[in-house]
Amino acid sequence: MEGRVHTAHDDVLRRWYSYVEGEREPFGFEYHKDRAIQIGQDTARYHQTEHLIHDESGEVEFIHSYRDDATG
């Protein structure tokens, strides 16, 4: 967990994890595909990632930034 910075509620994180793992796709989900990410895999190394979850009206519901400074 050291070096990891996250600003999200648990429910938002669960929606993101389930999307990445192919379990389901949240409504109006968008993310920056030019940023590498490894979530739902057996790894502790994450690259900086930003993704937006929109509500049904199209407004930004939550902005989440995830970074892991772990090296090695």
Domain that holds residue 26: 4-68
pLDDT for 12 equals 56
Which of 48, 64, 61, 50 minimizes the C-alpha distance to 7? 64
Select the more confidently predicted residue: 60 or 71.
60
pLDDT tens digits, 14-56: 555 555 554 444 444 444 333 334 444 433 333 334 444 444 5
**In terms of pTM, does the model score above 0.85?**
no
Look at the chain and report how many structural domains it folds into: 1
pLDDT tens digits, 3-16: 444 444 455 555 55
d(CA 35, CA 48): 7
pLDDT for 2 equals 42
- Cα 38 to Cα 41, 47, 50, 54, 60: the distances in Å are 6, 7, 13, 22, 24
